[in-house]
Amino acid sequence: MANESRLRSLSKAISWRVIATLTTMLITWWVTGNINAALLVGSVEFFAKFVIYYLHERVWLKIP
C-alpha cells in the first residue's frame, strides 16, 4: 500500500519485533540453557532489527 503511514509502519515494526524477539529468546534459552544469555541476545536483537525493519518498510514504499 503506497499510502501506508509512518505510524502504521512503526506499529507493524513493534508488533513484529515483540513476536520475533520472544522467539529468539526462547531459542537462545533452549540452545544455551542460560536465561541471562537469552535476555541479552533478545534485548540487543530487538533494537537492532527494529530499526532495520522500519527502514526496510520505508524503502519498499518507494518502489512502485
Q: What is the pLDDT along the chain (64 residues), one digit of tens a residue?
A: 567 788 987 888 788 889 999 999 999 999 999 999 999 999 999 889 888 888 988 898 898 8
| Within-domain flag for 47 | yes
Q: Phi first, then psi: what are they for 2, rounded to 5°?
A: -70, -25
Nearest residue to 38 via CA among 48, 51, 26: 26
Report if pTM > 0.75: no
Three cell numbers at 8? 502504521
Count, residues in the chain: 64
Domain span at residue 27 reads: 6-62
| Within-domain flag for 1 | no
Structural domains of the chain, count: 1
Q: Is the alpha carbon torsion for 41, 42, 45, 47 positive or negative?
A: negative
Predicted local distance difference test score (pLDDT) of residue 17: 84
Predicted local distance difference test score (pLDDT) of residue 36: 97
Q: Phi first, then psi: what are they for 34, rounded to 5°?
A: -120, 110
| Within-domain flag for 27 | yes
Predicted local distance difference test score (pLDDT) of residue 40: 96
